[in-house]
Structure 1
Amino acid sequence: MNDILDVTGRVALVTGAGQGVGQQVAEHLAAHGATVIVNDYFLERAQAVAKAIGNAGGKAYAVQADVTDNVSVKAMIAQVRDLAGPVDVLVNNAGNLGAHPSPDGRKPFWEFGPEVWSGAVDVNLYGVINCTGAVIPDMIERKSGRLITIISDAGRVGESGLEVYSAAKAGAAGFMRAVARTMGRHQVTANCVAIAATLTTPIEARLNADPERLKKMMSHYVIRRPGKPTDVANMVLFLASGASDWITGQTYPVNGGFSFSM
């Protein structure tokens, strides 16, 4: 029986994959046959993940690039072509408040200006635009490709205290819908995965240190547990595989029922 989630032979670039959700996505794709390009702002983190994938029997390369810098992104894509070939699957995962988040990033946005806001906007919106634009020409030429962007439920329903971040994630989702309309004729799909509270190492540490906060947070979730990186990676794998050939322009919430949508 054929494995409909098999991605053997595909080159998958995962941005911000040196830890957390991105690392799990990279490991998932490699375990199902993809050659994975592990990108991170910090090369040593990318190298550690690529090494772990290799030790597990997969194939991966580490590349450094700042996704907010279009020149850096284009250089990365050229490097990827030399290492493994054109990108078949792009996972725009790099996010949060940037590689060097401002300590003011979670304070009232109206007290600051672009010098703080750019931390969220540059990585979550311009980073997505830069990487997507860099891989599209090869996808058009080959008439095949998968574009997958990790957004947040903050971008779907809004999040108090994260207004600029919410706007950037919503912008990324709108961008991907527009790209889906443009790229469908080239057999390239574009979708988003919207995630809620997910147990990456730093989030898990904060929640474990404050059980009451965790209990209060989970009262808003129908499935009363935080997400796991594997929950997100499973959806990304589906969207990267042949099982999703006729799906594009969609946003899939992987959120334990934090919010519902039709």
Structure 2
Amino acid sequence: MTPATASAEASESAEFAGKSALVTGAARGVGKETVALLYARGARVVAVDLRPDITTLPDEFPGVLAMCGDITQEETAARAVQSALDTFGGLDILVNNAGRTLNKPITETTAEDWDAVMAVNARGAFFCTREAFRAMKNRGGGAIVSTGSYTCTVALPEGAAYSASKGALAQLTKVLAVEGGPLGIRANIVAAGVIETDFLDTIRSDSRAYLASFADVQPLGRVAQPEEIAEVLCFLASPRSSFITGAVVAADGGFTAV
């Protein structure tokens, strides 16, 4: 290792020192990997998830503030941001990672289906973003990063509710960039490709075949691992991306390039 490489690695390992972050959907998958990276690089983290096992996260990451809550409720978003303010003295980073998916033909998608997906992916992200934006405005800046999907830029069958919700989140991100720029607040969204997580097993009985079908049509020949998407989220939350805002950053293995 050269001195320059060692210095760069040391700098990266502490790039979030003194910063506080809020991560939603943090109990597993991309959310948990994002918490791990932020924590390892010096951030103080509030981790929120609907799953009760979020409360065990501090066992792995001492000092992380874990909250069990439903982000589709305004009070959860307000409580999460206030917890960061009370515990860490401010909020510098928001990672909107909580999400819900649905694969159904448009003719079979019910009003309840539509509302359930929109409630998490759009409404919940809006609540968290609004509260975080207020805190960051008072603090003099910050970074808001969201986990989006390649389906916010391209369309696939049976994705009406999901694609629409991620498209809404992408457009919200652009509005945040315009409103937040003069305040020192950056906002970006990662258009993630298919990710190999245990979450997929809970929504598809053919999850292995589904993953393989996507791997076969991507230039990289595989799907993403959660930590790969977490790295992109952390990059966009870091000073290394200081001139990037309002961007939809593809992390899809080249799927949308084909």
Q: Is the 8 A contact 1:120 1:164 kept in 2?
A: yes
Q: Residue 53 of structure 1 corresponds to which residue in structure 2?
A: 61
Q: Is the 8 A contact 1:4 1:241 kept in 2?
A: no
Q: Which residue among 19, 31, 46 is the counterpart of 1:22?
A: 31
Deviates more, 1:45-54 or 1:165-174: 45-54
Q: Residue 37 of structure 1 corresponds to which residue in structure 2?
A: 46
Deviation digits for residues 170-205 of structure 1, max 9, x if unmatched? 110001101100000011100001111111124379
Alpha-carbon distance, 1:258 to partner: 0.9
Does residue 120 of structure 2 align to residue 123 of structure 1? Answer: yes
Q: Is the 8 A contact 1:38 1:50 kept in 2?
A: no
Does residue 18 of structure 2 align to residue 9 of structure 1? Answer: yes
Alpha-carbon distance, 1:107 to partner: 2.8
Structure holding more helix per residue: 2
Partners of 1:48 and 1:224 in 2: CA distance: 35
Alpha-carbon distance, 1:80 to partner: 2.6
Does residue 72 of structure 2 align to residue 72 of structure 1? Answer: no
**In structure 1, what residue type is equivalent to 2:173?**
M
Q: CA RMSD in A?
A: 2.2
Q: Which residue among 162, 167, 171 is the counterpart of 2:168?
A: 171
Q: Residue 96 of structure 1 corresponds to which residue in structure 2?
A: 100
Deviation digits for residues 232-254 of structure 1, max 9, x if unmatched? 11111111111111110001111
Q: Secondary structure at the match of 1:91?
A: strand
* Structure 2: tracts of 5 or more residues without a match: 1-6
User: Matched residues, percent identical?
Assistant: 28
Q: Which residue among 165, 179, 182 is the counterpart of 2:179?
A: 182
Q: Residue 102 of structure 1 corresponds to which residue in structure 2?
A: none
What does 1:212-227 align with in structure 2 at a 5 Å threshold? 213-227=210-224
Alpha-carbon distance, 1:31 to partner: 0.6
Deviation digits for residues 107-154 of structure 1, max 9, x if unmatched? 323334322211111111111111010011121112110000100111
Partners of 1:191 and 1:178 in 2: CA distance: 10
Relative to the length of structure 2, the TM-score reads: 0.89
Q: Residue 4 of structure 2 corresponds to which residue in structure 1?
A: none
Relative to the length of structure 1, the TM-score reads: 0.88
Q: Residue 3 of structure 2 corresponds to which residue in structure 1?
A: none
Partners of 1:228 and 1:211 in 2: CA distance: 14
The structure-2 alpha-carbon separation of the partners of 1:259 and 1:36, relative to structure 1 and needing over 3 Å to count, comes to same
